[in-house]
Each structure stands twice: as C-alpha cells, then as structure tokens.
Amino acid sequence: MAKYKAPLRDMRFVLNEVFAADQLWASMEATQEVTPDLAEAILEEGAKLTENELFPLNLSGDAEGCRFENGQVFTPKGFKEAYRALAEGGWMGLGGNPEFGGQGMPKMMTVLFEEMLYASNAAFTLYPALNSGAALLLDSHASEEIKAKYLSKLYEGQWIGTMCLTEPHAGTDLGLIRTKAEPNGDGTYTITGNKIWITGGEHDLAENIIHLVLAKLPDAPAGTRGISLFLVPKFKIHEDDSLGEHNLVNCGSIEHKMGIKGSATCVINFDGSQGIMIGEPHRGLAAMFTMMNYERLSIGIQGLGLGEVAYQSAMDFAKERIQSRAPKGPQQPEKAADPILVHPDVRRMALNVRAFNEASRAFASYVGMQLDISKYHADDTQRQHAADLVALLTPVAKAFITDRGFDATVEAQQIYGGSGYCSEWGAEQYVRDARIAQIYEGTNGIQAMDLMGRKIFANGGKFLNIFTSDVRQFLAEQQGQTGMQDWCATLEVELKRLESVTEQVMQMGKENPEEIGAAAVDYLNLFGYVAYAYMWARMVAVAQPKATGAADDFYTSKVKVGQHYLKRILPRTLALEAQIQAGADVLMSLDEQAFYAE
C-alpha cells in the first residue's frame, strides 16, 4: 500500500551538509534565532504531523472528493480535524512575519515542510499553501492597518486566504479580465464579476475566507496595466474582528477534475461584494506576482512531494513483490521468484525517480536559500545577486520540478505493473495529483516563456551569468578533489552548452521574436538538467569523502544515485540542444487552418 515517511535523513543532508544552513542563519540578523536544534525539532514535528494526520486522509480524500450542496462546499472526512491540528500547531504561519504572529522561519526550512505536506496529502495542502501566499502578499503590499487586522488571523488559520485571478475567457491573458470594482466613496469598493478555478474558494475548514481578487476600476486602462487588487472577505468583518453578514461572495459550483479531488476548485461569483483595495490602483498584477512567485516555488514542491511519496510507495511494493529470476540466476532460490528489484529495468525506473527527487529537494532548498538571502542579508549586493537568481530560477523551479515530478509519479506507477493502475494502491492518484502542477500557477509553457523571454532575453543573459558564475566558483573549489574529476569535466561541458545555446537563441530572437517561444520549453528543460547536474555535483562533493562503501551507507548511496544522474539522465541535454537549434520556422510554417482540418 501507499507509504510515506518524511525523508529526514536526506533533508538534514541538504540543509546542514550541502548548504550549511546553520552558518547562513547565524550570519543574518533575522534568522539568528534559528539554531540547528530548532530546525531539527521543526522537521521532526512536521514529519509526525504529516505522516500521522495528513497522510492517512490522502487516499480516502481522493475517493470521497469535495461535495457541493446549495452553494456550500464540504471537504472530505477528516480534513477539518487535520486543518485544526495544523492551525493549532502554528504551522499555518511557519514562514509568517513575527511582527504579526508568524513564526518567522526561513524559506529553507519551509520548503522542506512544504515537501512533507504535499507528499502526505497534496489536495489538502493547497488550502494552507494558498493561505501562506495570500499572507505574504498582504505582508508585502498592504497597509500596516490591514496587516494588523488580517495577518494574525491568517497565521492562526482562523481565516484563510485565496487568490482570484482567472475568468472563463481570461487565464494566461489576465489583461482580458472583466471583474469590476466600483468605489463606494467610503474607501471600500463594490466588486462584481465571475472568477473560475479558485482553489479553496469555498469550503468548511475556516470561519472566514479572505479572497484576494483582481478587478478593474471604472477608469482602468486596457490590458494588464489596468488591473487592481482587492481584499474581499466571504463574511464582512466588524471593527472588533467578529464576523458580520455574508458579503455576496457565492460559490456557483466546483469542478470535477482529474485529481486533487479533496481540493475544492470553485466558481466564485462576486455579486456586488464589498472589498478594500490592496496597494496602488492599476498596480494590482505586480502585487499579485508576489503571491504568484511564492506559489510557483510551492507548486514546484508539489511535484517533488508527490515524486517522493510515489517512490517510497513503489519501493514498498517492490520489496514484497517477487516475479521471475535475476538475469544472473536466482538470488533468493528459497522463494518462488526473486524480488523485482533484481531486474535492471526496474532499477532504472527506481533510480530515475530517486535521482530526480533528491536533486529537486536540493534545488528547492537552493532557491529557498536565495530567497532568504534576498530578504535578510545585510549586504545590498548580496541581496540583489540573490534576488536576480530567484527571478531566474523561479520558473525553472515551478516547471522543471513539476515536469520531473510528474515523470517520477508515472515511472513509479510503472514499477507496480497492473497494481499501479488500480486505485487501492495509491500510485495512480499520485499521477493524477501531480499532473495539475504542470498546468496551474502559469502552465509550464508560460514558465518557459518567462525564463526565456523575461529572465534571459530581456536582460541579455545577465541573470544567467550570475548562475554560471556560482557554478564555476564551485567547480574551481573542486579542482583536484577525489572522485570529482568526471563531474567537473561534464559540468563544464554542460555549462558551455547552455551558454552557447543561450547565445544562439538570443541572436535568433533579435531577428524573429517567434524564436523565443519556439525555444522556450526545450530551453527550460536544458537549463533544468544542467541545474540538477550542479545540485548533484554539490551533493556528491559532500558525500564522496564520507562514503564508506558499505551497503547501508547513506553517502555511498548518494554517490551512486548521482552517478545514475550523470550517466543515464544528463545526456538528454544532447537532444534538447539539437531541438532548440532547429528554430522557429519548423513550428510556424504550417498554416494555422491546417491544424484544425477535417
């Protein structure tokens, strides 16, 4: 059956050994109180909570799904109690601003806890994940008064936040939204419009739902520069924070979806609801991007969490499943057959999954570290350097982790044979739950456009240089280290490939703007494979000197899984390079009508 134990050993390795988080935390004022002991305690408690409270509700939550009745949404059995446990334990505000009751934990810590959340119950996790993003948005863009009123409630989980962007005719292209906000003259606005795909738009977990809504003022210019941001509670809130009347925020229906069935995906109608503006008029989309970028990393971690639980569950199956004999002859002659892990192809699948999961964990932590530096570091240059890296790596984290996470769930499902297709084993749910992560929060194609267009092309590759310099500094440090020669040589080849392809696309893109979109997805993948090679090299560099060679030695396994990545996964860059070089004409030459024919 499905199995999940938070991979604490590997999390500690990434946090303490690969990225020396304790040194970083000690060096910055805002994080000085985060000692290794505290971090360890949080990881252990987080593991208990997710393993014992959330994971047992995963399969049942999928089978039951959310129920919509007369405008109300009921979450699956047990979700309420689990939510309460999360809220009461202070977990909803783990990364929140301490000034308003948050726990103030660095992002490097919260990414690890988020992984546990998604792994144990992805559908459930979307409720708190959206809430964290909403709180971050308010913390970044709302007035002190609003922060004081809302943040502590959100951190406590008494109220819960959502993001309301999409409308039926406006998804990727938010400039087209029609939801209107008319000023009432008393500082409030009347919001009217229909939003769709609102995660947690309505449910029974918290006493109030705080919607962050994109809408247009009457004098708004057309397009994305005419969008403002409003806070619209489900129930109006009195001065003393007690709840008032229903605010005409109505749930019209919930979607029937491929997966994340315990997460309510709602049609939300604002039928003249009262809201307040957050930030400046017409600057709402920029403010919303604070939340979106946060959610993008979070959704990336959804891919990792599901890949991890898919791996553990598949190995739990493989351990018991005996079928056929090893190529070299019986390994367990006393049994009717050998365990399926004797077969090289089963190992290939398991190692693929594992090599991605471990690199994704390191990569998410690396991005988390840059986020912390960009926020808390005393030095301006360091902060800017980290912020540029975050801008560059966020679309990669969202798209590459979820793409490889989806692959991981599919490959883990394959290990089961037919059982993987039967719902009781859980493997097929992971595939369905992982699939959405490639689509929402900006499809992975949109992430690739963001990377290629805005983060690479628009600044002439400046952000990329920061990244490659970081890698090259590591390579320089590793010169002559035992066991690192192959890694350093290959990584240098891959960096040169990435740089040369970047140069080519920037050149082509100057002649023809279609080249940017034509290269985007293959380029993001190329970038991702190289970035994961860097993560693996950093992990191997730490593990190699400690490896004992023993069968059960963590470091020995680490080095060997790294070898699998290097030899049996990284060569995919060869194909991506050639595909990018094929250019846009191949894609654009077919007449549009010829796609629709017959």
Q: Report the site for its own copies in 536-555 (rule: CB under 8 A).
A: 551-552
The answer for 323, left when phi > 0, alpha when psi is -120 to 50, beta otherwise, is beta
Could you list the beta-strand ranges (E) of 279-344.
Answer: none
Residue from 48, 207, 421, 545 touching its own copies (CB under 8 A): that is: 421
441 is catalytic: yes
Expressed in angstroms, the distance from the first to the final Cα of the chain is 46
Q: Is residue 489 at the binding interface for its own copies, with CB under 8 A as the rule?
A: no
475 within 8 A of 489, measured Cβ to Cβ = no
Q: Which is nearer to its own copies, 77 or 567 (CB)?
A: 567
Distance CA 464, CA 469 (A): 8
Least Å distance, CB 163 to its own copies, is 14
Site pattern 558..577 for its own copies (x: CB under 8 A) = --xx-xx--xxx-xxxxx--
Q: Which is nearer to its own copies, 94 or 350 (CB)?
A: 350
Q: Is residue 592 at the binding interface for its own copies, with CB under 8 A as the rule?
A: yes
Crossing angle of helices 344-376 and 514-543, in 10° steps, is: 100
Q: Which is nearer to its own copies, 294 or 440 (CB)?
A: 440
Q: Is residue 597 at the binding interface for its own copies, with CB under 8 A as the rule?
A: yes
Residue from 32, 60, 423, 507 touching its own copies (CB under 8 A): that is: 423
Q: Is residue 483 at the binding interface for its own copies, with CB under 8 A as the rule?
A: no
- Amino acid found at 18: V
Distance CA 267, CA 356 (A): 35
Q: Report the site for its own copies in 297-326 (rule: CB under 8 A).
A: 312, 315-316, 318-319, 322-324
Least Å distance, CB 273 to its own copies, is 23
Distance CA 309, CA 5 (A): 8
Least Å distance, CB 54 to its own copies, is 18
DSSP state of 259: S
Distance CA 29, CA 34 (A): 10
Q: Is residue 526 at the binding interface for its own copies, with CB under 8 A as the rule?
A: no
Distance CA 290, CA 277 (A): 16
Distance CA 570, CA 563 (A): 10
Look at residues 593, 406, 583, 403 and name the one whose alpha carbon lies nearest to residue 509.
583
Q: Which is nearer to its own copies, 388 or 433 (CB)?
A: 433
Distance CA 24, CA 188 (A): 43
Distance CA 128, CA 132 (A): 6
Q: Report the site for its own copies in 2-41 (rule: CB under 8 A).
A: 5, 7-9
Question: What token pair was written down for 504?
Answer: 């080519």
Q: Which is nearer to its own copies, 500 or 512 (CB)?
A: 512
Q: How far is CA 376 from the centre of its chain?
A: 22
Distance CA 388, CA 598 (A): 48
Q: Is residue 514 at the binding interface for its own copies, with CB under 8 A as the rule?
A: yes
Least Å distance, CB 577 to its own copies, is 8
Strand 208-215 to strand 159-164: parallel, antiparallel, or no bridges (unpaired)? parallel
| Residue tagged active-site, from 114, 115, 428, 441 | 441
Least Å distance, CB 38 to its own copies, is 23
Q: Is residue 104 at the binding interface for its own copies, with CB under 8 A as the rule?
A: no
Q: Is residue 173 at the binding interface for its own copies, with CB under 8 A as the rule?
A: yes
Distance CA 342, CA 338 (A): 7
Size of the site for its own copies (CB under 8 A): 107
Q: Report the site for its own copies in 326-355 (rule: CB under 8 A).
A: 327-328, 336-337, 339, 341-351, 354
Which one of the spans 119-127, 484-492, 494-502, 557-565 is the region binding its own copies (CB under 8 A)? Answer: 557-565
Q: Report the site for its own copies in 222-251 (rule: CB under 8 A).
A: none
Residue from 132, 162, 444, 468 touching its own copies (CB under 8 A): that is: 444
Residue from 67, 225, 238, 256 touching its own copies (CB under 8 A): that is: 256
> Which residues are tagged catalytic?
441
